[in-house]
Amino acid sequence: MQKTDVIIVGGGLVGMSIAYGLALLGRQVSVLDEGDDAIRAARGNFGLLWVQGKGYGMSPYAQWTRDSVALWPRFAAALHADTGIDIHLRQAGGFQLCLSDAEMAEEAARLGWLREALDGDYPYELLDPVQLRNRLPGIGPDVVGGCFSPMDGHVNPLKLLRSLYAACQARGVKVINGHRVEAIEPDASGFRLQAGDQRWSARQVVLAAGLGNRSLGEQVGLDVPVQPNRGQILVTERLQPFLEYPTTYVRQTDEGTVQLGDSHESAGFDDGTGSRVMAAIARRAVQCFPLLGDVRLVRAWGALRVMSADGFPIYEMSQVCPGLSVVSCHSGVTLAAVHALRLAPWIAGDFDDPAVKPFGLHRFNSSMEMRHVG
């Protein structure tokens, strides 16, 4: 039996961000990670730090997302100081490109609602095609307009994951790969966890296992309503820099490749790709930037988003099993900073952050119907 203060189940961006935050607070942390055959959103995402449009209908999420991007420079600086790895954080803003008037109107309505909900403190600009073309050369004639927000940005998500592993290990976090946690049981001194013939014990447990949180939650009496939502991404050959800003469908990485997204599909736990969706992604990317029509694609993949029943994060501390918390969310990149620097102190019990309250599981209890949506 191996003992530690805190065990985090899940070594993706969410689990590692929290592990890093807890290590910064001096906690003794172990991360139990499933293995390379696991379903991993952390290795398939698009790398956006995205604010605009998020939290429509739930302003605390918009604020939480804003708080995270405000913390991101400090978070990235800490990672860099601990590891020397440049994760290529850029926070110069981002563009949502619209291909129809209806899409433009919908975006404008969402952003208008959010600006009002955040008492006017929500910077963005709606751009007509001429304004947009001046800001983003190479935009195609099918683009009818766009929204720019200086709140948005991007990062290299694989370098982020790598730097989190390195920073955690530098600060004494034990990362234990290749173990799929099968059982969690509360006992007198905390919890006992079991994976195969291995046993661990900890005073505190954090479930950060993505889609695995559903079945792990059941073991401790929590209904965690998360479902997979598949996104596919295409990657081009390396190109000389042509696109400084991230857009929702097209993003050039620091090493020159261009990622094309995004799609939303219900495909269960199948994280494969399909030609119909790939063709649609390619078509839209070429509509946005016609010069991409001649470039070569070198890779494509599918990855599964962790979507809660209402699309917003779940942060829960169990009342029945004190010491057990659940963290489930989409947007592990955008929220990495706030997870490390604010959620980890909340989990540690150092700071009863009121901003976390709206994300509890209680919100699903009052509306049973929502639980089965999407």
Answer positive or negative: Cα dihedral of 240, 244, 250, 254.
positive
Closest approach of another protein to the CB of residue 255, in Å: 6
291 near another protein (CB under 8 A): yes
CA distance 79 to 167: 6
Identity of the residue, 221 or 256, whose beta carbon is nearer to another protein in the bound complex: 256
Kindly tell me which residue out of 29, 250, 292, 304 binds another protein, with binding defined by CB under 8 A. Answer: 292
Where residue 177 falls (left for φ over 0; alpha for ψ -120 to 50; beta otherwise) is: beta
Q: What is the DSSP letter of 219?
A: H
Stretch that binds another protein, among 28-36, 65-73, 238-246, 270-278 (CB under 8 A): 238-246
Tokens of 361: 């599981």
Rg (CA), the chain: 21
CA dihedral angle for residue 321, residue 324, residue 330, residue 335, rounded to 10 degrees: 140
CA distance 161 to 168: 11
| CA distance from start to end of the chain | 41
Q: Identify which of 263, 221, 258 has the alpha carbon closest to the alpha carbon of residue 243.
A: 258
Identity of the residue, 26 or 138, whose beta carbon is nearer to another protein in the bound complex: 138
293 near another protein (CB under 8 A): no
35 near another protein (CB under 8 A): no
Total residues binding another protein (CB under 8 A):
14
Contacts of 328 (CB under 8 A, 6+ apart): 14, 207, 208, 210, 213, 224, 226, 306, 308, 313, 314
Identity of the residue, 64 or 95, whose beta carbon is nearer to another protein in the bound complex: 95
CA distance 59 to 20: 27
Contacts of 283 (CB under 8 A, 6+ apart): none
Angle in degrees, 0-180, between the axes of helices 59-83 and 101-117, rounded to the nearest 10: 90
String marking each residue 298-337 x if it binds another protein according to CB under 8 A: x---------------------------------------
Give residues 40-69 in contact with another protein (rule: CB under 8 A). none
Tokens of 72: 């991101």
239 near another protein (CB under 8 A): yes
Closest approach of another protein to the CB of residue 308, in Å: 38
The residue to which tokens 């290990």 are assigned: 169
Identity of the residue, 57 or 138, whose beta carbon is nearer to another protein in the bound complex: 138
Neighbouring-strand partners of residue 183: 194
Give residues 242-281 in contact with another protein (rule: CB under 8 A). 242, 255-256
Stretch that binds another protein, among 48-56, 153-161, 175-183, 291-299 (CB under 8 A): 291-299
What SS3 state is found at 89?
coil
Closest approach of another protein to the CB of residue 249, in Å: 16
Identity of the residue, 99 or 295, whose beta carbon is nearer to another protein in the bound complex: 295
String marking each residue 127-146 x if it binds another protein according to CB under 8 A: -----------x--------
Q: Could you tell me how many residues make up the chain? A: 374
Closest approach of another protein to the CB of residue 240, in Å: 5
Kindly tell me which residue out of 294, 368, 369, 372 binds another protein, with binding defined by CB under 8 A. Answer: 294
Identity of the residue, 195 or 295, whose beta carbon is nearer to another protein in the bound complex: 295
Closest approach of another protein to the CB of residue 96, in Å: 22
Identity of the residue, 242 or 364, whose beta carbon is nearer to another protein in the bound complex: 242
Identity of the residue, 26 or 293, whose beta carbon is nearer to another protein in the bound complex: 293
Contacts with another protein by CB under 8 A lie at: 138, 237-240, 242, 255-256, 291-292, 294-296, 298
